[in-house]
Structure 1
Amino acid sequence: MENVYEYRMGIGHRLTWLAAIAVAALLAFAMDNQDPLILGTVWGLCAAIIIWFLSRSLVAGIRVDDRYFTLTAWRDPKPVPLEDIDYLCMTHWTENSDVMLVYADGTEEHIPAGDLPDIQLSSEVMA
């Protein structure tokens, strides 16, 4: 392989908008109901949504070069030498199917669907 192949999937914009709408709805509910218990609960839920959203690993993807298949390349890179890989096995035949990475020694590792491009492109890259 002459070039390095990178697949990077950033944060989903739908999730961002959903979190923003949830925070706005909770704040509107709190302003409508001035009960201190409701206000405290709503502020706590808003803080939990914001903390959950910021603590997620937002970037997923792989990197493939002539020597390594790097899993979770932008979060916690784990380079796997290509000669150690026996094959990749799809667990379900859907568009968002997860993949099992099977090593030459028989051990398996789960790869989430979000870390890989679609099935056809993944097959072409690994071929």
Structure 2
Amino acid sequence: MSRITLTLAGLCLACGLTFAAPLANAQEATSARDAVVDGDMWLASSPEIRKAFLIGAGNMIAMEVAYAQRRSQAVSPASERTRQAVANLSLDQLSDRVTRWYQANPERHDVPVMGVIWLDVVRAGNPTAH
């Protein structure tokens, strides 16, 4: 693994651990890897923590794109669609959209943040994306 990969993995782990405090109040996770960020954790977190999560998710997509390009492989359709859908959004705008979605759908707080991004940003911008 390259130094960049380890750094990005560490960033994502740090984002997961940052969300672990709200998670601990709701349920016990067996590891940071098991702490999928859902609506309850999102809404219990500060705007700065939310943006840190989005930065980590964006870095994972960037890492996947770089990995595919270095190996002359196609980027996964989900990553490419997500990258295109958020390209013109600021972190604040994306964070606000996720927050508004959870507020408008209180019965769906179990949907992971990345699922909300797919539903509310990616599919909204391209209704043929399933």
Q: Same fold judged by TM-score > 0.5?
A: no
Bigger share in strand: 1
TM-score scaled by length of structure 1: 0.31
Choose between structure 1 and 2 for higher RCO, CA contacts under 8 A separated by at least 6 residues.
2
